[in-house]
Structure 1
Amino acid sequence: MFLRQLEPRTARTTTEVLNFALWPLAVLTVLNRVFIKAVNYSVTNDFKPVYDASLAFLNHRAIYTDNFNSTDPHYLYPPGGTLLISPLAIIDPEKSRWCFILLNAAAIILAGYLLLRLFGYGLNSVIAPTMLLAMFMSEAVTNTLVFTNVNGCLLLCMVVFIHLLIQRRELWAGVALGLTITIKGPLLAPLLLIPLARGQWKTFITALGIPIAMNLLAWPFIVDYKSFWSHTLPYLSESRDYFNSAIVGNFGYYGVAVWLTWTVRILLGVMVLITLWLLYRYYREDEVFFICTTSGVVIASVLVLGPLGQGYYSMFLFPMLMTVVQRNSVLRNWPAWVAIFGFMSYDKWLSDRWQSIGRTLEYLRVTFGWALLLIVAFCILGDRYLTAKREGRLRPDLTLDPAWMHPGQAAPEQRPAHNGHAVDVVAEPVGQGSAH
C-alpha cells in the first residue's frame, strides 16, 4: 500500500498538483541538509566543544576552562546539561557527530509532525510538505545541522511541552520544558509564563525540579563544578558584539550610544508587555492560538532584547509561524513575512560591489526580523482592540476578532443603550433562565 502511494500518476486537483510538486522538493531538501551540508564540516563547529566537554566529564577532567577572549564556540552548558549530553563521547567524534546530526534532524521532523497535528492537519494535507520544505530551507534548521547544535532536540521538547499543556498533562509538560532548561538554561525558561497565565501550577514542579535535580546529581561527578558559577555563568550574563543578533550586540558592534540602545529596548519591551496583556485578557480560551502566539512573542523578545540572540534560535518561533493557517493569526499580512524572511532566510546579503551596505544588511537582518515580528503582533492586536472598543464589543469573555474570522459563530446581538451606545446581548439557550 505504501509503494502504491509512490506510483507516478497525473494530478487531477490543485491539491494533488501541489502535493506531487512539494513532497519531492521537501524530501530532497532534507536529504541535502542532513547528508551533504551537515556532514561537510563548517568553520563554525558547535559540536566540538560539546564533545570535548563530554569526554572530559567521562574521564573526570576539568570542563569549564574556556578562554572567552576568543571568538570560537564555547562550552556553556550547566553541569546538569553536561550530565545529559555526556553519552555523546562514548563513541569516536566523527560517528558521534553523525549520530547527533541524525538525532536533531529526526527531532525537527517529529516536531514538525506534532505541529501539523496540533493545528488539525495530516500528512495528506498540502501543509505537510510545505512546512517540511520551509523548515529545512530555513537558516535556523540548516545552521543547526551544519554547526551540529542541540537546538533540534530542544525544539521537539518545546512542541511536546505545548501539546501536553493543551492536554492538561501538566507534570509531563514540565518534564519536557525542564529538560530544555537543564541544557540551555534561560533560553526557553520564559515559556513558563504560559502555564502561569493558564493557572497550570503543577507544570512548575517538574519544569524547575528537573534542572535542580540534574545539577545536584552532576555535582559529585564534575571536578570543576564551582568554575561554572565563577567562570562560565558571568560570561552568560554579558553581551558580546560578535555573533550576536540581539539589539545590545548589534548596537554595540556599530557603536550606538548606550542611552539609545536602552531606549530602543525599553520601547520594544513595552510593546511586548502590551501584546502579552492583550493575548492574556482576550485569547486565553483560544488555546492553540494563545499558546503558540504567546510562545513566539516571548521567545522573540528574549532573543532581541536579551544579552545574546543567535539566528538559529529562530526555530523556536516555528509554533508561532504555524498559526498562519488560523484565520485570526497575526501573521496574515506582508510586513510579518518581511520579518520572517529576515530571520529565517538562508540567503546571504554580503556584496562584493557594495560591501558596506551588504555587510550591514547581513548583520542586521535577523535583528530587524525579530523586532519587526514583535511590532507586527503589537500593531495587529492593538488595532483589533481599538476596533472592538469602537464597535462596543470589548468584553473579556469575547476575543478581539471581528465576526468574519469565525463565520461558524453567531455574532453577538446589539441593542441601543440609554446613553446611545450599543450594548452586546448574548442569546441564552432555550429553556434556561438567568439567575437574578
Structure 2
Amino acid sequence: MTRTVPTIRRLFGAGDLTAAQVVRLVMWPLAVITALDMVFDKALRGSVTDDFKPVYAAVRAFLEQQPVYTAELSSVDPHYLYPPGGTLLLAPLGLLGESAGRTMFLLLNAAAAVLAVYLLLRMFGYTQRSVLAPICYFALFASEALINTLTFGNINGLIFLAEVVFLALVLARRDIPAGLVLGLTIAIKPILAPLLLIPAVRKQWSTVVVAGVVPVAATAIAWPFSVDPDTYFVHNLPYSLSVRDYFNSSISGFGAYYDIAPTVTLMVRALVAAMVAVSLWLLYRYCRHDELFFVVTMTGVLLTGEFALSSLGQQYYSLFLFPFLLAVVQKRSVLRNWPAWLAIFGFATYDKWLLFRWPAFGRDLEYSRAPFGWTLLLIVVFCVLGDRYLSARRENRLALGIDPLRLAPDFPTPDRRPITVPADKPSATQAEARPGETHSTESTSAPTSA
C-alpha cells in the first residue's frame, strides 16, 4: 500500500513535470487508441476499394498454374499490376484462405509501418522516451496514407519499412544489404526505384548493381513457373505507364480528369521537373556533407517528384515521404515554414473536403488536394534551397556552403547518436571535400539527454 499511493500520486497529481513529460502523457494514449481504432475497426472492416482481392486472386492463379494477367483493364476496379517476380515473392499469401490471408496481410503492414517509424526515430537519434515518438505514431495512424493502405489491403506498409531499412543501410554504408532490400521492393512494386540515385551520387555502386539485379533475377526465376509472364510486358506494363483519368493524383492524371490541354499539362510538368532538378543539384553540390539531411531530403524530393510527374500518383503513396517530413526536427530542414505544412496538410490528412452545400466545389477541392500538396511541397523546397544559395552567393560564402549564418537548433535534441557513417570510416563525400569547405560535426557529436 505504501508503494501504491506514491505511484497514484505521480500518475494523477500535479507533480513536478517537465514540458516533455506532459507531451508524452498526452500523446501516448492518443497514439495507442488511434492505432487500435485504425487497425481493428477501419482496417478489418475494409473499404469498397479492395486492393488485396486482385493480389490474392493472382497468387492463387500462380500457385494453381493458371493465367495471372487476365484482368479487364478498362474497368475502374483495382487491377493486379505486379510483375512476375513480385507474384513469386507474394505467392505464400495464396497458401491461406482469402479472409485469413487479408487479415494477416493488413496486420503485417500495420506492424511494418510501426517498426519503420521506430527505426526512423533511431535513425534521427531519438528513442521511444522522446516526445517525438508518440507524436510520430499518432501522425502515422491518423494519416490518409496509412489509413487507406490498411483499409484497401495494400502492401505500402511493408514497402515503407523496406524504404527506411534501405536508407539506414545506405547511411551506414552497408552497400550490398541496401541493394538487396531496395531490389526486393522494385521486384514487387517499383515505386522506390528513383531512390537508386542516392547510392549512385554517393558512389555506392554495389548498391545500385544489386538493386538492379534482384528484380531481374526474381523475374527470371518466376518465368518458368508462370503460365503467362509475357502478358505482363505486353498487356499490364503498358497500362501501368499510361495516364488514366481516375484515382490518379499526378499532374497528368489531374489534367486528364479536368480535360486540360495536353500542352498546358506538359508545360506544368516541365516546370516542376526543372525545379526538382535544380533542388537535387543544390542538395548534391552544397548539402551532402550532412549525410542524414542530404539522404532524407533527397528522398523526399525524388519521391514527391515521382508522384507529381509520373503517369500515376495516388495519395497514399505519401506514406513514403515520412522520412522527409521527420527531417523538420533538423536545423537545416527545408520544412520549417508554413507553406510546407500547408502542402503536407493537403496530401497527408484523412479529411474529406466534399462540401455538403457546395458539392461541385467540394469535389474539386478533394480531387486537387494531393496534386496541389505535392506540387507546392516541391516549390517550397526549390524556393528555400534557391534562397539559401542566392544569399550565400551574394555574401561571398559559397565555399562554406549555403546554410544560413544563423540556424535554429535541432528540436528536440536527439537523445542518442543518429545513424551515420562510422567515425573511423570517412564517407566518399568527406574525402572529396572542396578546399575551404567546412563540415558539420553535429550529427556525430556526443548526444545530449532529451
Give the TM-score normalised by structure 1.
Answer: 0.91
**Structure 1 portions without partners, runs of 5+:** 409-423, 428-436
Q: Tell me if 1:391 matches 2:389.
A: no
Count of aligned positions: 406
Q: Which secondary structure does the structure 1 equivalent of 2:11 belong to?
A: coil
In structure 2, which of residues 177, 187, 211 is the aligned counterpart of residue 172 of structure 1?
Answer: 177
**Which of 309, 312, 319 is matched with 2:323 structurally?**
319
CA-CA distance at 1:404 after TM superposition:
1.9
2 CA distance for matches of 1:174 and 1:5? 49
Match of 2:63 among 29, 47, 58: 58
Q: Residue 223 of structure 1 aligns with which residue?
A: 227
Equivalent in the alignment of 1:432 = none
Residue number in structure 2 paired with 1:332: 336
Please give the residue correspondences for 1:305-316 in structure 2 after superposition, counting only pairs within 5 Å.
305-316=309-320
1:293 to 297, 303, 326: 297
Q: Which amino acid aligns with 1:337?
A: W
Alignment of 1:41-190 (within 5 A): 41-185=46-190, 187-190=191-194
- Hey, what does 1:400 align to over in structure 2? 402
Give the 3-state SS of the residue equivalent to 2:317 in structure 1.
helix
Question: Letter of the aligned partner of 1:403 in structure 2?
Answer: L
For the pair 1:15 / 2:17, whether they are aligned, the reply is no
Distance across 1 between alignment mates of 2:37 and 2:226? 38
Following superposition, the deviation at residue 399 of structure 1 comes to 2.8
For residue 250 of structure 1, what is the aligned residue in structure 2?
Answer: 254
Q: Distance in 1 between matches of 2:61 and 2:134?
A: 42
SS in 2 for 1:242: coil
2:416 counterpart residue number? none
Aligned alpha-carbon RMSD (Å): 1.8
Paired residue type of 1:388: A
Instruction: Work out whether residues 331 and 409 of structure 2, in 8 Å CA contact, stay in contact via their aligned partners in 1.
Output: no
Provide, for residues 158-193 of structure 1, a one-character-per-residue CA deviation record: whole Å limited to 9, x for no partner.
1000000011100000011001100012x1111011
* 2:330–2:409 contact (8 Å) kept in structure 1: no
Q: CA deviation at 1:206?
A: 1.4
User: Which residue of 2 is the match for residue 417 of structure 1?
Assistant: none
Does the CA-based 8 Å contact 2:249-2:370 persist in structure 1?
yes
Return the letter of the residue paired with 2:293.
F
Q: Which letter maps to 1:268? A: V
2:268 to 260, 264, 278: 264
How far the C-alpha of 1:403 sits from its partner, in A, is 2.7
Partner of 1:39: 44
- SS of residue matched to 1:188: helix
Q: Deviations over 1:202-228 (max 9, x none)?
A: 101210111011000000111011111
Residue 237 of structure 1 corresponds to: 241
Q: Deviations over 1:131-173 (max 9, x none)?
A: 0000110000100000010000001101000000011100000
Where relative contact order (Cα < 8 A, 6+ residues apart) is larger, the structure is 2
Deviation by residue 1:326-372 (Cα, 9 ceiling, x = unmatched): 01100000000000000101000011210111000000000000000
Partners of 1:38 and 1:289 in 2: CA distance:
34
AA aligned opposite 2:393: K
SS in 1 for 2:406: helix
1:425 Cα offset (Å): 7.6
Alpha-carbon distance in structure 1 between the residues aligned to 2:331 and 2:209: 35
With over 3 angstroms needed to count, the CA separation of the structure-2 counterparts of 1:352 and 1:407, relative to structure 1, is closer
2:120 partner amino acid: L
Amino acid at match of 2:32: V
Whichever residue aligns with residue 282 of structure 1, its letter is Y
Q: Distance in 2 between matches of 1:407 and 1:92?
A: 52
Specify the SS of the correspondent of 2:189: helix
> Any residues of structure 2 matched to 1:336-415 within 5 Å, and which?
336-395=340-399, 398-405=400-407
Q: Structure 1 260/125 Cα, relative in aligned 2: closer, same or farther at 3 Å?
A: same
Identity of aligned residues (%): 54
Structure 1 residue 209 and structure 2 residue 213: aligned?
A: yes
Asked whether the equivalents of residues 392 and 401 of structure 2 are also in contact (C-alpha less than 8 Å), the reply is no
